[in-house]
Amino acid sequence: MKRLHKHKSSLLRVLDRPEIPLHTNDSENDLREHVKRRKISGGTRSDLGRQCRDTFSSLKKTCRKLKISFWQYLQDRLSMSNSIPSLGELVLKKTRAATGY
């Protein structure tokens, strides 16, 4: 109890800032899909294949975190309509909204 009381302010920070995650497993969750695919397929045959897989995996995860359809985003970019803002802009917008800046 003494240890909990000593860290009371940091433990209760989540009440003031609900955007702070209760756990830090996001980085582990990001890798889990990659590891499963690697086990099933045995990896890629070339460096270019690895780079393509990593790029599309990153795009898909970013879209998921921003609540954007990955397929709609790809179609938007391939058709060059650009009706969906860039992921960088959306990440900045979400960050600013969460931090109040």
In angstroms and rounded to an integer, the radius of gyration of the C-alpha atoms of the chain is 19
What letter represents residue 86's amino acid? S
Tokens of 65: 């975190």
For 74-99, what is each residue's pLDDT tens digit?
999 999 998 999 999 999 998 888 77
- Nearest CA to 84 out of 93, 95, 92, 72 is that of 72
CA pair distance 76, 55, nearest whole angstrom: 17
Task: Give the helix/strand (H/E) hosting 9.
Answer: helix 8-11
Q: 5-14, 32-41, 57-66: which has the minimum mean pLDDT?
A: 32-41
Q: What's the mean pLDDT when you consider all of the chain?
A: 83
CB 68 within 8 A of CB 90: yes
